[in-house]
Amino acid sequence: MIVLVPVSMSGKIKHLKGQDLNKNLDFIIVIDDRIVIESPYLLHIKSVLGASEKSYDVGYYPGYLSMKISDYDKLMADDVKAIFLIFEYYDPSEKEGVKRSYEIELKKSWLQDYFNILRIYNLDKKKYGKVFFSPKSNRKYVYELDSPSNTFHLIRKK
């Protein structure tokens, strides 16, 4: 909480209370061993509450995922069953600037941690297709996450 202390013309101190409008999470996105320094497109978080879904705007710049505090509080509510980070990214390593879409399931505990490093690997690139098993879904990518209290790593092929 931020405390603002303006001084009136009479010299008396008035106390006003306010609060930050955004929740900034230490969050690094790495795609194909490259830290994302460009802003991902159409970035948002989707929450699933039973049969309904709700979408929240979020911002990203290298190292930070930012959202309204009120939205963060809604995501942490008991009735939220799943949380997804959804975005599009133009791969600068491709000659033609290939657009890729990602939907990453996040756990509430990840969003409560000190920091997160999300690593995404595109399986249509030989380097990663040879290392990781393809998911059972139609996704053409896999992902891992590291944080101080949670680590999620994939099994690699030999």
The 10s digit of each residue's pLDDT in 104-153 is: 999 999 999 999 999 999 999 999 999 999 888 889 999 999 999 888 88
pTM given for the model: 0.82
Average pLDDT over residues 82-98: 87
DSSP secondary structure letters along the chain: -EEE--B-TTS-B--EEE--SEEEEEEEEEETTEE--SPPEEEEEEEEETTEEEEEE-EEETEEEEEEHHHHHHHTSTT--EEEEEEEEE-TTSTT--EEEEEEEE-HHHHTSSEEEEEEEETTSHHHHTTBPPPSSS-SEEEEEE-SS-EE-PPBP-
